[in-house]
Amino acid sequence: MTVPALPRLREPANLVCPRARWLWLIGGIGQAVVLAGLQVGWWFIDRRDARGPHVVVAIVVGVLVLGYLIVMPIWRYRVHRWEVTATAVYTQTGWLTQERRIAPLSRVQTVDLTRGPIAQLLRLATVRVTTASAAGHLVIHGLDRDHAAVLVERLTAAAAAERGDAT
Amino acid sequence: MSDGIPPILAGDAQWRRLDARMLLVHPVQEAVRFLPALLVVFVNGRSNGRSPWWDLGFLAAIVVVGMMRWFTTRYRIWGGQIELRQGLLNRRLLMTPADRVRTVDVTAPIWHRALGLAKVEIGTAGGGPREHRIVLDALAAPVAAELRGELLHRLTQARADQQPAPDGSVVQEDAEQVLVALDPTWIRYAPLTTSGLVSAAAIWGFSAQYVEQADDLQEKVEGAVDRVAALGVGLAVVAGLLAALLLVSLLAVSGYVLTYWGFRLTRHTGGTLHTRRGLLTARATSLEEKRIRGVEIGRPLGLRLAGAGRLSAVTTGLGHEGTQGGSAWLTPPAPGEVVTRTAVSVIGDEPAVVGPITRHGRAARRRRYTRASVPAVLVCAATVWGATRVDLPAFLVVAGCLPVVFAPMLAADRYAALGHAVTPAHFVVRSGSFSQRRDALSRDGIIGVTIRESFFQRRAGVVTLTATTAAGRQRYHAVDLPVEVSTPLAAELLPGPFADLCGADLHPGGAAAEVSQAGNAVAADL
C-alpha cells in the first residue's frame, strides 16, 4: 500500500479500552451460537438420509466463523478510536467498512452513557453523542467505565456552554 | 366565532375546543376506520339471525367514540405557549413556545371543506418526530387562516423588533410576491413521473383482493384475453401495453390535477414562503425562510428527458425526512427554467443551482461501471446456465440478458450525474440516474461530517463524504470522492474543528506534520 503524499485526516488520538476486544468477541460468539442453532435445526428438519451436505456446510461455516472471531475483535480494536478536541468530537469505527465522524461541540445536543450486561461485567461503557441531525450521532464503544464517566461530564459541560438550539 | 374576537395569540387563558362541526366529522372518520369491523359485525349478525339492534349499538358506540375526541381535545394559546390537551384514558399535553413555530400547514380534506373547516398542523424547531407536531383537527376555516396568519405574523413581528418596520404594516398578508403559479400546460409532465405507476399498482393491489373472489368477473376477463389473443400474440402484447400506458398516464394526470391544482408559491415580507395547492383537499403550507437550509432539485429520468424537474425545500420543522410528506414542495413537476429560477430565488445562490460541478474522477467512474455491470452479468449468467439445465422460454433468456446491454448506459449516466461543488454559502451534491437529485445544502446548516469507506472503496482510494444536518433528509452524500479531495472538502465544510484535526496537514507539504502527529498516537498508522 502506498500512502499518497496528499493531506489526509489524521486518526483520532485515543484507542478504546483493550477489554473492548472481549466485548466484541463475546458479541461474535453470540452470533456464532445463532448460526450453530440454525445448523442444528436443519439437521433435525432434513428428512433425507445423506448427511454429507450438513458436514460440508458445518465445516465451511465453522472455519469462516473461527476466522471472524479471531480477526474481527483485533481488527476493530486497531480501528476504533476517538478524540475530543477543544471544538469537536471525532470518532473512527468499523473494521471492513470504516467510518470517521466529526461533530462540532457546539452542535452536540445530548450525551448518553449506556452499559449492557456484558459491558458491565467487563467494566466498560458506551458513550453516545447525538446532534440535531437524525444522521449525525457519534458512538464510542468499549470505553473504560471511569473514563467514560469523565468524558460524559466533559462533553455535557461543553454542550451546555453553547447557546441556541444547535440546528 | 365572530370576527370581533381579540387576536388569538394575545388570547386569554381560556381552553378552547375544536370547532363544533367536528362532531359531524369525527364519527364519520371513526366509522370509516372501523368499516371492516362494522361489516364483519353486520354480516355475522345477519347469518346468525341476531337482532339488528346489536348492529345499531355497535354503530352508536363508534359514533360516541368519535364524538369523545371532540369533548376530550382542548387547546389554548396563552403566555407565548401553544398547548394541546388530548385523550380521555391516555391523556397527553403538548406544549410548545409560540416563537419556536417554524411551519404552519393548513389542510382541508374534502369533507372539512364541505363544512367550512380546516386542519392546522404546527411544526416546531428541532424537526423532531411526528408526535412533536401540534395538530388541531379542525378549526373553522377563517379561524385557521387567522391562527396561521398570527403565528407567522409573530415571526414578522420578532424581526420587526430588531429592525423597526418602515410603516405600521402589521397585517401578515401584505406585499406578497408570487414565485410560482401553476401553468395548466405543465400537466403534460404528469405521465413522465412514476406517480401514475404507483397509483396503478395501488389500484391493482386493492382490486385484486376482490377480483379473486369474483369468479364470473374472472371468466369475463379471461374471455376478453382470449378474444384479444385470437388477433395474434404480438398484437395482443402491443394492445395490452398501449392500454396499460394509457391507464397509467390517465392516473398520473388525474393525480397531478388532484395534488397540484391551483399551485402557488408566494413570498411574504415577513420572511415566509407559502404554498397552496390541491383540487379536493386544499393545502396551504407556510415555511419560515430563516429555517430553509437549502433546496433539492429532483430530475427523475422521465422528467429529465423532457427538460423538466421539481423543487422542494430542505427545511427543519416539518417532521418527516425526505421530501417531508409533500409539505416542502416548492414547485410541481415543471419546466427546467421554472425550477431553476425558483431555486435561485429561494436560496439566492445561483452558482449552487446551475454552477459547474466537480466530477469525482476515474475511480468513481470505474465503480459506477462495476456496480452496474456485476449484477447484470450475474443475472444473465444465471439465466443462460438455467437455459442449459431446464427448458426456459427464449424470451426469458433474452429478458435476463437485456440488463447487460443497459448496464453501461446506466453507469455512464450515473457517472455523468455524480459530483459536488462548494459555493460560499452552499454545499452542492448531485447523483443518481433514474431519480437524479441535485441538493444544495446551506453550509450553516451542516452539523457534522461523516467519512465512510467500505473495503472496496478503500482499495479504490475513494470515500463517501456525508454532511449531516437537522433539515430535510438529514444526510447529504458525496459518493466515491477521491480520498485526497475528501479532507480539504471536509475542512471547508467544518472549518473550526478541522483546525485541530489536521493542523498544518491542510497546507501543501503538510504530510510530514501528519506523520509526526500520527506518531503521537498510541498505535502506528498502517
DSSP assignment of B366-387 equals HHHHHHHHHHHHHHHHHHHHHH
> Sign (positive/negative) of CA torsion B478, B482, B485, B487?
positive
Answer whether residue A32 shows pLDDT above 70. Answer: yes
Give yes or no for a contact between A138 and A81, defined as CB atoms under 8 angstroms apart.
Answer: no
B366-397 burial, b at 16+ Cβ within 10 Å, e below that, comes to ebbbeebbeebeebbeebeeeeeeeeeeeeee
Pairwise CA distance, residues B84 & B104, whole Å: 15
3-state DSSP assignment of residue A95: coil
A19-A24-A25-A28 Cα dihedral, nearest 10 degrees:
170
Cβ proximity of B472 and B488 under 8 Å: no
Nearest CA in chain B to A77: B523
Q: Which of B207, B204, B205 is nearest to B217 (CA)?
A: B207
Task: For chain A, state the CA radius of gyration.
Answer: 21
Q: Quick check: B449 and A7 CB within 8 A? A: no
For residue A86, list chain B residues with Cβ-Cβ distance below 8 A: 500
Q: From CA B4, how far away is CA B21, in angstroms rounded?
A: 20
Q: Which tens digits make up the pLDDT trace of A39-76? A: 999 888 888 877 888 889 999 999 999 999 999 999 99
Does A85 contact B at CB distance below 8 Å? yes
Measured CA to CA in angstroms, residue B470 lies from B89, B183, B473 at distances of: 34, 33, 8
Question: What is the β-pairing status of strands B435-442 and B426-431?
Answer: antiparallel
d(CA A17, CA A19): 5
Q: Are B313 and B328 in contact (CB under 8 A)?
A: yes
Kind and range of the H or E run holding B288: strand B282-288
Type and span of the H or E element at B253: helix B233-260
Q: How far apart are alpha carbons A143 and A129 in whole angstroms?
A: 14
Return the bridge partners of A81, or none.
Answer: A15, A92
Contact B505 A85 (CB under 8 A): no
CB contact under 8 A, A165 and B454: no
pLDDT level of residue A163 (50, 70, 90 thresholds): low
C-alpha to C-alpha distance for A38 and B80, rounded to whole angstroms? 59
Integer angstrom CA distances of residue B341 from A41, B179, B362: 63, 9, 33
How far is residue A62's CA from residue A68's CA, in Å, rounded to a whole number? 10
Average pLDDT over residues A5-11: 66
Closest CA relative to residue B244, chosen from B188, B211, B209, B201: B201
Beta strands (DSSP E) in A105-152 are 108-114, 124-131, 138-144
| A1 interface with B at CB cutoff 8 Å | yes
For chain B, say whether A163 makes contact (Cβ under 8 Å). no
Whether B449 and A102 lie within 8 Å, measured CB to CB: yes
Q: In which residue are the cell numbers 415543471 written?
A: B334
pLDDT in tens, A21-31: 999 999 999 99
Instruction: Determine if the pTM surpasses 0.80.
Output: no
Interface contact A2, partner B, CB < 8 A: no
C-alpha cell at B520: 503521537
The distance in angstroms from the start CA to the end CA of chain B is 73
* DSSP type of residue B173: T
Dihedral, B199, B201, B207, B213 alpha carbons, nearest 10: 180
B282 to chain A nearest CA, in Å? Answer: 31
Q: Which residues pair with A137 in a beta bridge?
A: none
Minimal-distance CA residue of chain A relative to B472: A133
Judged by a CB distance cut-off of 8 A, whether residue A90 touches chain B is yes
| B452 to A165: CB separation less than 8 angstroms, yes or no | no
Contact A102 B510 (CB under 8 A): no
Query: Strand B419-422 and strand B426-431: pairing?
Result: antiparallel
With beta carbons under 8 A apart, name residues in chain A contacting B511. Answer: 5-7
- Among B450, B484, B488, the residue with its CB nearest the CB of A101 is B450
Q: Are B307 and B333 in contact (CB under 8 A)?
A: no
- Report the residue from A9, A13, A133 with minimal CB separation from B469: A133
Query: Cβ–Cβ of A9/B451 closer than 8 Å?
Result: yes
Q: A151 to chain B, minimum CA–CA distance in Å?
A: 18
State the 10-residue block means of pLDDT for chain B, 526 residues long.
45 79 84 83 79 83 85 83 80 77 82 87 62 78 84 60 43 69 91 80 71 62 71 76 88 89 87 86 84 91 92 76 66 94 92 92 94 91 87 80 90 94 94 92 92 93 93 90 90 81 47 37 32
Q: What is the mean pLDDT of chain A?
A: 87
Higher-pLDDT residue of A98, B523: A98
Q: With an 8 Å Cβ cutoff, are B448 and A6 in contact?
A: no
Q: What's residue A3's pLDDT? A: 42
Q: Which residues of chain A make contact with B361, given a CB cutoff of 8 A?
A: none
Rounded distance, CA B144 to CA B427, Å? 37
Contacts with A99 from chain B: Cβ below 8 Å: 450-453
B494 and A88 Cβ atoms separated by less than 8 Å: yes
Contact A96 B455 (CB under 8 A): yes
**Rounded mean pLDDT, A105-134:** 88
pLDDT of residue B213: 58
> Whose CA is closest to A78, among B386, B526, B2?
B526
Give the whole-angstrom CA distance, residue B328 versus residue B320: 10
Residue B14 to residue B138: CA distance in whole angstroms? 18
Of the candidates B149, B105, B148, B103, the one whose C-alpha atom is nearest the C-alpha of residue B126 is B103
